[in-house]
Amino acid sequence: MDLEKLLADRLAQAFSVVAGGPVDPVVRRSQHADYQSDAALSLARRLGRPPREIATEVLGQAELADLCSAVEVSGPGFINLTVADPALGALLSRMAVDTRLGVAVSAAAETVVIDYSAPNVAKEMHVGHLRSTVIGDAAVRLLEWLGHRVIKANHLGDWGTPFGMLIEHLLDLGESEAAHELSVGDLDSFYKAARVKFDTDDAFKERARRRVVALQSGDELTLRLWRLLVAESEEYFLTVYDQLGVLLTEEDFHGESYYNDMLAPVTDELDRLGLLRDSGDAACVFPEGFTGRDGQPLPIIVRKRDGGYGYGATDLAAIRHRTRDLGATRLLYVVGLPQRQHFEMVYAVARQAGWLTPPAKAEHIGFGSILGSDGKMLRSRAGGSIKLVGLLDEAVTRAAELARQKNPDLPEATVADVARAVGIGAIKYADLSTDRIKDYVFDWQRMLALDGNTAPYLQYAHARIRSIFRRAGIEQFTATPISIVHPAEHALALELAAFGTVVTASSRTWSSTGSPATCTPSPPPSAASTNTARSCAPRARCGTAGWRCATSPPESCTRACTCWASPPRTAC
């Protein structure tokens, strides 16, 4: 029922006759026609024929009479297709009575881990966490709806060196006072107070250092205090998730601490694979192809000299756990763009270690920053970082004012419901409807506007449609067949018919619209080295330890790809 695919299949048949082999007809929506194919242009060189001639011959071959009311060759050799109204009507009629709107459940269901939200314990959530939470939530809903098994992984920052100072500060305050301070939601001031002591008081610093060691060696009292900090923060995060209406629950908290017991075995395995190097202060891995400004290889710190493990070590353990133990074949990381290199390095090491081998792949779903009207990072009036709850509360308050203005007779209980839907909806939609990779300006006026591409406009249109149905006594839309007559209906029908294409494309193209899941291209083997290029057969070898793939990323190898085996063997 996917219109784009239907048209593409018909054209593909015709193209394959003309080209003497399979051709992707590259059918897309277009400004110049309902759909357009530009495949004749790219085929011209291969066939040594003018593109217009190819396009004309393809149209001569193609069976499109039942789908299109007009077909033509335009410009240098584009094929323009106008979809026939009866075909559009028939398609919409089928969609309208199908609970899945004509979108099939994925035939190749995958286990997908989505790593998102991930705020830090005893720290306020900031707008970056808002973006991660909202985008991650959309990804979860989308992939689940398509039939994938989705594991929500809320990778809380709940472990590591800061907990030494946080626990010591908690002890200084006394447990009940600390719990009170944390529960009123002022996490930042708690964190900052601990930090100030850490930076200015040497004795405190020493206590904090010893406390980290106690935490890592499993000291009961220390663990109990740590749990208290984590529990208070988790409760707070859950109230934010509730306010946002996202799917995350307490079962999805898989913070850094969850991987603690896996860190030593992971380090041993890296060592056995010959990937671990001692660099003075720490044991590190140096993924190939990553160098700093000075040209020196960049490390991922695995274990520091004091025995503590780095952020990267936890991410390596998490990848190994997700692919090996959870059986995931797709790992999505919804984390801001500043961490892009970190993830690329982690993926590279995981591939070298054989923990991320095809068909498993990892993708960084990066996103831009939220800016204030001055074009700089969004800050509070006092210049501090914006508290997420404050922002959400303000959205609801503003939406309530709007609702009262529009309809002064609305009962207050209804105002509250509407305000929550409109206010939170406005924030989420403003976030999701912009280009994920770009920064965007946070603008109350625009996101709460009742016209334009905003949540309130969509919600208003939805409410009006429902009210039309209510008045007409229609409970469920079954009035088919739908006939398309007016050009506006034609335009609307085309949008509706594209739903399946858009959903499928969104579920697949994270990395092509975001930061690519790259495998840093390996340098070509020098003649002097003992490198040998050979085809990776079986293909599965591509990307495993010892094999470096010449295709970037290795997942993009469709057939046998070329690998380089070189001593010491490395993989992308």
Please say which residue, 246 or 318, places its beta carbon nearer to ligand ARG: 318
- Nearest distance, CB of residue 512 and ligand ARG, angstroms: 22
What does the alpha-carbon distance between residue 358 and residue 355 come to, in Å, rounded to a whole number? 10
**Residue closer to ligand ARG (CB basis): 124 or 181:** 124
Query: Which of the stretches 113-121, 392-400, 456-464, 477-485 binds ligand ARG when contact is defined by CB under 6 A?
Result: 113-121
CB of 315 to ligand ARG, least distance (A): 5
CA separation for the pair 423, 22 (Å, rounded): 50
Binder of ligand ARG out of 2, 57, 115, 168 (CB under 6 A): 115
User: Do residues 349 and 314 make contact, with C-beta atoms less than 8 angstroms apart?
Assistant: no
Q: How far apart are CA 106 and CA 483, in angstroms?
A: 30
Stretch that binds ligand ARG, among 42-50, 115-123, 397-405, 449-457 (CB under 6 A): 115-123
Nearer to ligand ARG, 162 or 425 (CB): 162
Closest approach, Cβ 120 to ligand ARG, in A, equals: 5
Q: Which of residues 297-356 bind ligand ARG (CB under 6 A)?
A: 315, 318, 333, 335
SS3 content of the chain, % helix, strand, coil (to 5): 50, 15, 35
Q: Is 131 in the site for ligand ARG (CB under 6 A)?
A: no
Pairing of strands 440-441, 548-549: unpaired
CB of 171 to ligand ARG, least distance (A): 24
DSSP state of 302: E
Helix or strand holding residue 229 (H, E): helix 220-244
**From the CB of 338, what's the least distance to ligand ARG, in Å?**
9
- Using CB under 6 A as the binding rule, whether residue 120 contacts ligand ARG is answered as yes
With CA atoms as reference, report the closest residue to 431 among 140, 142, 151, 128: 128
38 lies in the binding site for ligand ARG (CB under 6 A): no
- Three-state SS string over 28-91 comes to EECCCCCEEECHHHHHHHHHCCCHHHHHHHHHHHCCCCCCEEEEEEECCCEEEEEECHHHHHHH
Q: What's the closest the beta carbon of residue 501 comes to ligand ARG, in angstroms?
A: 31
Q: Which is nearer to ligand ARG, 285 or 318 (CB)?
A: 318
Q: Which long-range contacts (CB under 8 A, 24 or more apart) does 66-72 make?
A: 67/6, 67/7, 67/10, 68/7, 72/33
Tell me which residues in 132-191 interact with ligand ARG (CB under 6 A). Answer: 155, 157
Q: What is the SS3 string spanning 143-163?
A: HHHCCCEEEEEECCECCCCHH
Distance in Å, CB of 258 to ligand ARG, minimum = 11
Give how many residues touch ligand ARG by CB under 6 A: 9
Nearer to ligand ARG (CB atom), residue 37 or residue 154: 154
Q: State how far the alpha carbon of 513 is from the alpha carbons of 81, 333, 423, in Å.
A: 26, 14, 28
Rule CB under 6 A: which residues touch ligand ARG?
Answer: 115, 118, 120, 155, 157, 315, 318, 333, 335
